[in-house]
Structure 1
Amino acid sequence: MCGIVGAIAQRNVVPVLVEGLKRLEYRGYDSAGVAVHTGSAITRVRRVGRVAEMENAAAEINLTGQLGIGHTRWATHGGVTEYNAHPHVSHGQIAVVHNGIIENHDEQRERLKQLGYVFESQTDTEVIAHLVHHYYKNGGLDLVEAVRVASRELSGAYAIAVIALDQPDVMACARKGCPLLVGLGEGENFIASDVSAIISSTRKVIFLEEGDIAEVRREGVKLTDQQGQPIERKIHFSDVSLASLELGPYSHFMQKEIHEQPKALADTIEQVLHDGFLPALFGAGASEILSQIDGVQILACGTSYYAGLTARYWLEAIAGIPCSVEVASEYRYRDAVARPNTLIVTISQSGETLDTMEALKYAKSLGHKWALSICNVKESAIPRASDLVIYTRAGAEIGVASTKAFTTQLIALFALTCTLAKLRGKLTAARETEYLDALRQLPGSVQHALNLEPQIRVWAERFAGKDHALFLGRGVHYPIALEGALKLKEITYIHAEAYPAGELKHGPLALVDENMPVVVIAPNDALLEKVKSNIQEVRARGGEMFVFADLDSHFSESEAVHVIRTPRHVGVLSPVVHAIPVQLLAYHSALMRGTDVDKPRNLAKSVTVE
């Protein structure tokens, strides 16, 4: 959530800040602002709404400068107002942008009020501005030292960038719990919460670690720890392409990313097909670790959690290994009983999801020996904190509602399943060949599912006027029903719930009437006849059915039973194929309701706060 960008250069940095903020819009926000050192003052421009509104306001005053910071805010403390928008300024001399949450802000606010500071906002961030100013002006410290001392007194999670009026040649940054990176240029340098914000200026980046303090100048960057000791961090060359950050011929990023899935899946599958189901897929030392585990504990949030639920069916049925799946934000706050030889598997598109990161730390504190991460962003925080990692190759995902990240996560989880099955003697050579062939054919099956878009668009016309919907699935397809309901909720604002189809008669059937559309995931598997019985229960109560069935399933359409047939049943990988139509249904329903498909209200792409 929220986004940070900053720059120091010999050129006007305002266009850099504005472009960076536009590229961070996908993360979710409700206001935007910049603070620029103009030579004689720190000039701040903030607006509620889109970055374009702030950009126009900056252009009206011809804002220019060679040092500046910018921010997109997603409201946590205080409402969506210009007063609460970042950057926050103290006495016109210190400007701060901040991602995260300061947990002891009330305590610090009272202390600073007693020191004479006046607060203009309800945010926790303004505390940082005044605290840095206090040490900068009253403590006789330079900007970097003032930030270092102030950050020691902050509890919670934060990524901070600070500039000072009388130090126009430096920007100070601090990181704890929230992502922040430094971009290295020639005679100019940058900071950002996401590499996409600065990719048009540089591909050389340094990812800050916990407790790092960065002193960013035009001529170079100096990193120190909380005690002021010099530290070194590896320089990375980002492979994010500008093309992946542009819409191209598509109307929305969600549409683009849905249609990119055949390629994203093929790219992710490629690493598996090259060597087969080998531990090396997961990094050095994987063979020794995976050979010792006696269970799997998956920790994730949102869509990634549903990927984990799908994997549980695979892991227990194929690998014969016990698996539990928990919402990361719940796991970290309960008294869990650890089994040290259980492998912790975290799933996060961004690799920076705060709840998942904290759940991983908690699992380690309980005594779990090993952790494996499934992630789409290289060198992000969760992979760095894990023993093993497999990167999905989805490419940049901009739309808030996850699509290609979800399906590529399923591939990574399937590869883990088959690797564990092979190590445990549960995967015969014939079955391994069968699964590898299924993976090879999967992108084609997904493309066939995408070709159903015109039919799904017709269904969306019926959904657009509804206020509620039910999604049903059984077995390994129940998580796909959950994912379908989530997608519809996220971008259409239609209230949708998902249930195992067998649970209908235990309560949800009371909701069914002619105004409640019911979506059914009905592949041609061992549970098909059970699903057909559940459909009859709905029909008997006057419900209208929308059935996603396989080509070789035998369903008869009627006035109230609508059927769209996906490709022939693809076996164990069927959940991947059936994820496509529920994504398309949500997308087209949202279009017809006129909602913001890529930036749904109240949501953010990267959730880095509790």
Structure 2
Amino acid sequence: MYPHMCGVRVENRFKKKGFGGGRSTPDRDLNLDLPVIGSLVYCEGSALDDAATEAGIFAYLNYLTPKSRREILELLVNGLKRLEYRGYDSAGVALDTPDGKGIAIVRKSGKVKALEDEILSKEEDLQFDQSTDCHVGIAHTRWATHGVPSEINSHPQRSDVDHSFVVVHNGIVTNYKDVKVFLQKKGYSFESDTDTEIIAKLIHHLYNKHPTYSFRELVEQVIQQLEGAFALAFKSKHFPGECVTTRRGSPLLVGIKAKTRLATDHVPILYSKDHRPHGRGEIPILARSDSTAEFQPLENAEVEYFFASDASAVIEHTNRVIFLEDDDVAAVKDGMLSIHRLRRSLDDSHSREIITLKMEIQQIMKGETADTLMALRYCKNRGALIVGITNTVGSSICRESHCGVHINAGPEIGVASTKAYTSQFISMVMFALVMSEDRISLQTRRNEILDGLHHLDEQIREVLKLDDEVSKLAKDLYQHKSLLIMGRGYNFATCMEGALKVKELTYMHSEGLMSGELKHGPLALVDKAMPVIMIVTRDPVYVKCMNALQQVTAREGRPIVICEKGDTETQSFASKTLEVPHTVDCLQGILTVIPMQLLSYHIAVLKGCNVDCPRNLAKSVTVE
């Protein structure tokens, strides 16, 4: 059903010659002395799979599972490659030093390939062939929000020159300036421009002040001081073999791989201090054999944990995952996973389900948008029925909607979405058909649309034959600085989509305009030097679109018109035309958008732009 994943090559360059692969109120008992700043933000439901930044987190912990350092590095780098589609400008990894007493950090600005080469150059220092039974490695692809893309601003960020604590971060800490001032007063100096560095230094400050606290307790105290959206993964030389992760408003999941069968499919939630269900007092630290956690591999059993921003980096290793929720703190110690929360609310689940993903990697590559998710939650909180139309099983919209449609379009690694757009368009038309099937008065209209859907595939093939014409048109347009795209009715959405594709892929300014609004401003831009594309089809707004077309030609404009085959009247007003087959009006946008997508592609190629990964863009948009 799904095509093979294209656009991603995960090469094994790690063989013998390589390396194998608020108002934030501090806890009164802690006396943190931190300033009271803003208010904590709690997002209900699952991840803003995109309310933080477009970066990617991947961490790996092996317990009683012998792995060479070569294999660990291979696994970390390949995990980052699986997250490349999210968008990034630098990358880095952190792992134990060969003697096991410290942490080695390798960071590089640019692509994961550049990081891979940098790691290869350190083969002797990192001792690739050394084996270890218990190890934690963390990796990250960064999308710059605070500080320019550079090695010093890349993650993992460190607490000090001794790398006592290192952290990778997906998100934005909105109160980082206040925390930074606080830490500077405590004597800390900063080497980067990132908001992430304050997290590493804050946990170091807390460790120095409270050396008896567990790694997990330190992380809990840190996140109480942070505002914004984030996902975090921590590693420390003071807590070897331990990894602590947490999230608020940014996605994070835990993958579990064990040779023994998992005891149950749930991990219970543990609450800290006053918010624990069983009253006050210290949380008992249980041995593996005494653990009350649902995930209980047998004593001395091999287990591996994978922490990632989304399932694309985990699915090739295991299909057993836990999707963390806001303010969850997941900690692994002595090979045992526990999930903690600072506070308990009435609607809290008592456990986190271990989900079995019944999908392959090509189904998982996804892009999600923070504003869409915020709108979803706004409506859901007010009792609306949420229907999701998604291309990714397990995405935030898929998990948070009440029901929905999986469009099965397959993976789309390129940032600029094409087939997902088309598939969602058709899905919404089909949804409307289902909703209207009991309306006798609409049967004629429904039959027209159904007939149009039956012929759509052959009509799309016919439109694709315009590729040579579109390529010639691209040669006339690619040196222009701006492009206007006009339409009306159903085709206005096509204009917006076409303009977006031109902007994304070619870096050329373009605007999608409602042709009925020409006299409100856009007409002032029209002259013989301004390229104008107009979409004019024989639909209910045809006459109005023709009026707009004639206004453009009257101002010496030379419009390029996308019209229906044989429409000689429309062609008489155009300098050039691209003819598409006729179909029912509500499906015409499927056919008229294809020339715009092809045009964007050809202009981008002529300008030497990266079609799959345009500059400064990301597939997962996690910044609100």
TM-score w.r.t. length of structure 1? 0.77
Residues 1:608 and 2:618 aligned together: no
Aligned residue in 1 for 2:193: 122
Aligned to 1:3: 56
Cα distance in 2 for residues equivalent to 1:355 and 1:391: 21
Which of 504, 517, 520 is the equivalent residue of 1:506? 520
1:551-578 residue CA offsets vs partner (Å, 9 max, x unmatched): 2433575796111112232432111222
2:81 pairs with 22, 43, 57, which one?
22
Which secondary structure state, in structure 2, belongs to the residue aligned with residue 185 of structure 1? strand
Aligned to 2:579: 565
- Residue 471 (structure 1) shift: 0.1
CA distance in 2, matches of 1:58, 1:169: 22
Q: Cα gap change, 1:458/1:204 in structure 2, threshold over 3 Å: closer, same or farther?
A: farther
* d(CA) in 1 for partners of 2:108, 2:308: 20
1:365-404 alignment to 2 at 5 Å?
367-404=382-419
2:315 corresponding residue in structure 1: 199
Of 144, 153, 162 in structure 2, the residue corresponding to residue 75 of structure 1 is 144
Q: Deviations over 1:117-161 (max 9, x none)?
A: 222222111121122223344322222222122122221111111
Residue 535 of structure 2 corresponds to which residue in structure 1?
Answer: 521
- Within 5 A, what are the aligned runs for 1:482-501? 482-501=496-515
Cα 1:393–1:555 change in 2 (3 A) is: farther
Q: Give the C-alpha shift of residue 232 in structure 1.
A: 2.3
Name the CA shift for 1:555/1:236 in 2 (closer, same or farther; >3 Å): farther
Q: CA deviation at 1:385?
A: 2.9
Q: 1:234 Cα shift?
A: 3.3
Is it true that 1:588 corresponds to 2:602 in the alignment? yes
Choose from 223, 226, 233 the match for 1:151. Answer: 223
Q: Give the counterpart letter for 1:360 in structure 2.
A: L
- Give, in angstroms, the shift of residue 583 of structure 1: 1.0
Give per-residue Cα distances to partners, 1:324-355, cap 9 Å, x unaligned.
Answer: xxxxxxxxxxxxxxxxxxxxxxxxx64x4222
Q: Which amino acid aligns with 1:225?
A: R
Q: Structure 1 residues 374, 120: closer, same or farther in 2, change over 3 A?
A: same
Equivalent residue number for residue 53 of structure 1: 114
Q: Is the 8 A contact 1:204 1:238 kept in 2?
A: no
User: C-alpha displacement at 1:218, in angstroms?
Assistant: 8.4
Taking the aligned partners of 2:159 and 2:364, their CA distance within structure 1 comes to 38
Which residue of 103, 120, 131 maps to 2:202? 131
SS at match of 2:352: coil
CA distance in 2, matches of 1:131, 1:553: 68
Structure-2 residue corresponding to 1:87: 156
Residue 372 of structure 2, aligned match among 348, 351, 356:
356
Correspondences of 1:405-416 after superposition (within 5 Å): 405-416=420-431
Question: How far apart are the structure 1 equivalents of 2:323 and 2:474?
Answer: 43
CA apart distance, 1:497: 0.9
* SS class of match (1:147): helix
Look up the equivalent residue of 2:57 and give its one-letter code.
I
- Following superposition, the deviation at residue 112 of structure 1 comes to 2.1
Partner Cα distance (1:47, 1:461) in 2: 37
Kept after mapping to 2: 8 A contact 1:179/1:194:
yes
| Cα distance change of structure 1 residues 381 and 419 upon mapping to structure 2, 3 Å threshold | same
- Counterpart of 1:142 in structure 2 is 214
Question: Are the equivalent residues in 2 in contact too, given 1:26–1:598 (CA < 8 A)?
Answer: no
User: Structure 2: how far apart are the matches of 1:561 and 1:496?
Assistant: 19
Query: Residue 420 of structure 1 corresponds to which residue in structure 2?
Result: 435
Identity of aligned residues (%): 40
Mapped to 1, the partners of 2:246 and 2:364 lie a distance apart of 29
Partner Cα distance (1:582, 1:217) in 2: 54
Where do 1:74-473 residues align within 5 Å? 74-91=143-160, 92-139=163-210, 140-186=212-258, 187-216=303-332, 219=335, 221-227=337-343, 231-242=351-362, 350=367, 352-364=368-380, 367-422=382-437, 425=439, 428-473=442-487
Decide whether aligned partners of structure 1 residues 428 and 540 sit closer, same or farther in structure 2, where only a CA change above 3 A counts: closer
Is the Cα contact below 8 Å between 1:418 and 1:427 reproduced in 2?
no
Unpaired segments ≥5 residues, structure 2: 1-53, 259-302
Is the contact made by 1:32 and 1:48 (CA closer than 8 Å) also made in structure 2? yes
Q: What code does the residue aligned with 1:30 have? A: D
Distance 1:213 1:518 in 2: 54
| Cα gap change, 1:364 to 1:568, in 2 (>3 Å) | closer
Aligned to 2:552, what secondary structure does the other structure show? Answer: helix
What are the superposed Cα offsets for residues 94-120 of structure 1, whole Å, 9 maximum, x if unpaired? 111111111221222222223332222
Alignment check: 8 A CA contact 1:6 1:70 kept: yes
CA separation of 1:223 and 1:238: change in aligned 2, threshold 3 A: farther
State the alpha-carbon separation in 1 of the partners of residues 476 and 614 from structure 2: 21
User: What is the deviation of 1:430?
Assistant: 4.7
Q: Distance in 2 between matches of 1:47 and 1:230?
A: 41
Deviations 1:411-448 (A, max 9, x none): 2322333333346x476445444433433333333233
C-alpha contact 2:503 2:509 (8 A) present in aligned 1: yes
Q: Deviations over 1:273-302 (max 9, x none)?
A: xxxxxxxxxxxxxxxxxxxxxxxxxxxxxx
Residue 104 (structure 2) pairs with residue 43 (structure 1): yes
Corresponding residue SS for 1:82: coil
Does 1 or 2 have the higher relative contact order (CA < 8 Å, sep 6+)?
Answer: 2
Q: Which amino acid aligns with 2:87?
A: G
**2 CA distance for matches of 1:593 and 1:441?**
36
In the other structure, the counterpart of 1:31 is: 90
CA distance in 1, matches of 2:431, 2:102: 56
- AA aligned to 1:127 is I
Whole-Å Cα distance in 1 between the matches of residues 199 and 568 of structure 2? 63
Aligned CA distance change for structure 1 residues 391 and 508 (closer, same or farther; 3 Å): same
Partner of 1:339: none
| Equivalent residues of 2:550, 2:573 under 8 A apart | no
SS in 1 for 2:405: strand
**Could you tell me how far apart the structure 1 residues matched to 2:600 and 2:177 are?**
41
Conserved 8 A contact 1:176-1:211: yes
| Contact map agreement 1:189 1:217 (CA 8 A) in 2 | no
In structure 1, runs of 5+ residues without a counterpart are: 246-348
Letter in 1 for 2:323: F
Aligned residues: 504
DSSP 3-state at the match of 1:70: strand
Give the 3 Å change call, closer, same or farther, for CA 460–391 of structure 1 in structure 2: same
Change beyond 3 A, Cα 1:467–1:79: same
Bigger shift: residues 44-53 or 502-511: 502-511
1:32 Cα shift? 1.2
**For residues 366-419 of structure 1, what are the alpha-carbon distances to aligned partners after superposition, in whole Å with 9 as ceiling and x for unaligned?**
x35433333222232233333333333222222111212212221232233333
Deviation at 1:209, TM superposition (A): 1.6
In 1, distance between residues paired with 2:238 and 2:357?
33
With structure 2 as the length reference, what TM-score do the two structures score? 0.75
**Between Structure 1 and Structure 2, which shows a larger proportion of helix residues?**
1
Following superposition, the deviation at residue 230 of structure 1 comes to 7.1
